[in-house]
Amino acid sequence: MTRDEAPEPGGREGNGGGEGVRPHPDRALYAISVAAELAGIPPATLRAWEAKGLLTPRRTDGGTRRYSENDIARSRRIAELSAQGVNSSGIRQILELQDENARLRGAASSATGDGPGAGQD
């Protein structure tokens, strides 16, 4: 399995043909049109959120945006907050706090051995 792949929940590694393996959620795979469709958001809105610093898709050498599963999930969260009336500055702060919370939870899980695979032999 490569760095950009993760096993499907309940799937197995190395079972041939790539079955049961999905791309790593940070792997930038999707063009803006596909990401927009998956997120249910117009491409122009994704571009606007990028301009405001709310999304940061990766770029190819040619400058084309590429979105990951995590980018798509983040765009859905931005849309949800926007629909609740939160402005761009508020959305940015909420996302930063959520990112920090996730980072701290990951660090705490690693420190206590409660992370994925803990207790498995």
Q: Write down the pLDDT at residue 10.
A: 41
Nearest to residue 58, comparing CAs of 21, 89, 32? 32
Q: Write down the pLDDT at residue 28.
A: 76
Q: Which helix (H) or strand (E) holds 6?
A: strand 5-7
Q: In this predicted model, what pLDDT tens digit does every residue of 50-84 receive, in sequence order? A: 999 999 999 999 999 999 999 999 999 999 999 99
The rounded distance, in Å, linking the Cα atoms of 37 and 72 is 10
Is the CB of residue 74 less than 8 Å from the CB of residue 94?
Answer: no
CATH, range 21-104: 1.10.1660.10
Position 22 pLDDT exceeds 60: yes
Assign 49 a pLDDT band (cuts: 50, 70, 90). very high
Position 9 pLDDT exceeds 50: no
Q: Write down the pLDDT at residue 16.
A: 44
- pTM of the shown model: 0.69
Tokens of 30: 């999707």
